[in-house]
Structure 1
Amino acid sequence: MSPKQGVILYGPPASGKDTVTTALSELGSRYAQFARLKVGTGKSVGYRMGTTEQLRELEAAGDVVYANHRYGNTYAIDAPGLDAAFAAGVPVVHLGQVDGIRALVGGYPADWSVVLLWCPREVTEQRSAGRGDSDTAARLAAWDATREDLDAHPGRTWDLTVDTTEATPQEAARLIDHLLAQRAGAATG
């Protein structure tokens, strides 16, 4: 049996993680965005909203694979959530920190394909403003933090890098799907 496959999309805000994930799910129903546990306020779409107590219980059980704090909220990737996501197909996990990638790849056994989605800072600004974000300044600060994170980890290799100013979401999805097919073939061949 080949190992379960998952996708990690890494990149700054507005680099296309949501859009590429939508294109992946349109390409095949096996792909679905992993809904991280979010403790806080703001956007709830794409998250499992939780409480501080729920997060504490997961932490006490050793079930938090990775957690980060951004925009005044806590975002957690938990083992029970990943178990359910893998049971349903191929989870697509969105991350904006290299430490999160390391924690996930090292802390949850699966064949993880790690994809860097990239766009310049001014594109993040344009896309954020264009979609009506009320916190564009915070997203630009997160873009800066992502750039610093990449610079601090120069040895990080990517299974695939996609410049989302050059590739359409559908092209990016096809590239990711092809990557997973190749990896599955290599695992069984």
Structure 2
Amino acid sequence: MQGVIFYGPPAAGKDTVTAALCQLDQRYTQFQRLKAGPGRTAGYRMTSEDHLQCLRTAGEVIWENHRYGATYVVDRPHLRALLDSRVPVVHLGQPEAIEAVKSAFPAARWLVVYLWCPRPVAATRIAARGTGDTKARLRAWDETDAIAADVMLNTEAISAVEAAEEVLVSFGSR
């Protein structure tokens, strides 16, 4: 069992690098977090608060956070299924979430990748999305702490394909 954690602020390139990684090596797949609430639906498994409450009660929530008026959850059943069959790429934005995911599956080999870009680059990327929540996303960018990771990549300085190749090399897949 092995997995990749992409950690970083909004617009650092987590989705873009994940797409490149999955193109380069079909063993990799994005772990789509559960989401209840408004906003973007792409890249998430949309659900209800009632379903999330059932998962909480059953002890199946590994990590939960609240942003942009929505709830985002890393759930144990889906992550376990992906770890058993593929190499999931989990997107996280809080350092505590990294430890929660790693602790939930201690037998798995995890590669933590810190994706980052300068704030002005993030602002341009966020505005280009047209989601109308630029201020909130830049606030989240400001609140995302830098971490020491297995791999640290500035997505302004390299392409998504180069970043994905670096992940494969670091994980011994190339």
* Maintained 8 Å contact 1:65/1:108: no
> Which of 123, 134, 137 is 2:135 aligned to?
137
Gaps of 5+ in 1: 151-155
Where does residue 42 of structure 1 map in the other structure?
Answer: 39
Structure 2 unaligned residues grouped into runs of 5+:
none
1:94 positional shift: 0.4
Q: Report if the CA contact (8 A) 1:5-1:180 is conserved.
A: no
Do the aligned partners of 2:39 and 2:68 also contact (CA within 8 Å) in 1? no
Q: What do you get for the CA RMSD once the two structures are aligned?
A: 1.4
Aligned 8 A contact 1:125 1:136 in 2: yes
TM-score by length of 2: 0.95
Give the number of the structure whose alpha-carbon radius of gyration is greater.
1
Structure with the largest fraction of helix: 1
CA contact (8 A) 1:64 1:76 kept: yes
1:15 equivalenced with 2:12 (yes/no): yes
Q: Pick from 27, 31, 46: which aligns with 2:28?
A: 31
- Normalising by the residue count of structure 1, what TM-score does the alignment of the two structures yield? 0.87
Superposed, 1:1-189 pairs within 5 Å as: 4-109=1-106, 110-146=108-144, 149-150=145-146, 156-181=147-172
- State the alpha-carbon separation in 2 of the partners of residues 49 and 108 from structure 1: 24
Q: Quick one: percent identity of the two aligned structures?
A: 50
SS at match of 2:130: coil
Task: Tell me the secondary structure at the aligned position of residue 181 of structure 1.
Answer: coil
Q: Deviations over 1:27-52 (max 9, x none)?
A: 01111110101011221111111111
Distance 1:130 1:48 in 2: 23
C-alpha distance in 2, partners of 1:169/1:76? 26
Alignment length (residue pairs) = 173
> Contact conserved, 1:79 with 1:108, CA < 8 A, in 2?
no
- Partners in 2 of 1:117 and 1:75 — Cα distance? 20
Partner of 1:153: none
